[in-house]
Amino acid sequence: MQIYLPIAEVSVNAYLLLGLGGMVGVLSGMFGVGGGFLMTPLLFFIGIPPAVAVATEANQIVASSFSGVLAHLRRKTVDLRMGTVLLIGGLIGAALGVAVFNYLKSMGQVDLLVKLCYVVFLGVIGALMFIESLNAIRKTRSGAKPKRRKHNWIHGLPFKMRFRTSGLYISVIPPVIVGVLVGILAAIMGVGGGFIMVPAMIYLLGMPTKVVVGTSLFQIIFVTGFTTLLHATTNYTVDMVLAVLLLIGGVIGAQIGTVIGARLKAEQLRILLAIMVLAVCGKLALDLLIQPAELFSVGTAGGH
């Protein structure tokens, strides 16, 4: 069933979009990522222009994250106080990111930048998570008890705050900085930033994995919602038809994902996520390096 997307100006199969939305929704529920880092490149692969993919995907993340958060709130695995601190940083970052995106769009370089950002970030984060998860799995196999995180430099910073759900007493500066970075990425790459947020919360802030997923989703809802609004009002690149189809799939998938996620061990979850991140990174890098079938594509003036 072919459907025409008015803003993207292409026709695609509606069932394919529902399937993609569902698949990414499952990942969202399992890993606490908005799923944008996988969905946006997948949209590139089926022929959606990067500028439209980025803005519309931010829209879909809001729904699948909201669906995931509801499931986590029922389990009481959301640290609302930490989520709010991350959120303050996230909104500042999102506003900065949209400004950068608009500037690059006027230069005509936005598509290349978006794809390069993906290759770099997915490669680095996928590799780090893969190595760390392998070590964790080895340790659990050998029967060594995982050590509690020792105090690091983050615990010495001022403006401390107690986060009861996470069992932490740390400075608010690191979470705000993490939030700003994630907000910028949300705007430029159309991602919720979960794939950076989740590792940062586990390794930098030392939060327990069970709480990280729900808290990450809570913050992602607001930042991506704000980003979508900015893109819709300044770039006019949000395709509602595309968003609705992805949404329907995403909301159903997120509920299934939360159930699967609750049954897997933390190390297994992390290694699965790392493998997927590396696979998408490899495909994107290949697309950038291999000569395209058509060397010239027709675009509107100003969006070369």
Q: What is the pLDDT of residue 190?
A: 66
For the record, the structure tokens of 155 come out as 């615990």
Mean pLDDT of 239-256: 83
Q: How confident is the model at residue 144 (pLDDT cuts 50, 70, 90)?
A: low
Q: What is the pLDDT of residue 304?
A: 46
Q: Which residue has the higher pLDDT, 299 or 242?
A: 242
Position 173 pLDDT exceeds 80: yes
Q: How confident is the model at residue 153 (pLDDT cuts 50, 70, 90)?
A: low
Position 179 pLDDT exceeds 80: yes
Q: What is the pLDDT of residue 196?
A: 74
pLDDT averaged over the chain?
78
| Per-residue pLDDT tens over the stretch 55-110 | 787 777 777 778 778 878 888 778 888 888 888 888 888 888 888 888 877 887 77
Name the residue type at position 271: I
CB distance 34 to 64 below 8 Å: yes
| Per-residue pLDDT tens over the stretch 125-137 | 788 878 888 888 8
| C-alpha to C-alpha distances, 131 to 35, 112, 125, 264, 267, nearest whole angstrom | 21, 29, 10, 19, 11
Question: At a CB cut-off of 8 Å and minimum separation 6, what does 59 contact?
Answer: 224, 228, 238, 243, 246, 247
Q: How confident is the model at residue 23 (pLDDT cuts 50, 70, 90)?
A: confident
Report the alpha-carbon distance of residue 93 to residue 176 in Å, rounded: 10
What whole-number percentage of the chain has pLDDT above 90? 0
Q: CA angle at residue 114 from 108 to 122, to 5 degrees?
A: 165
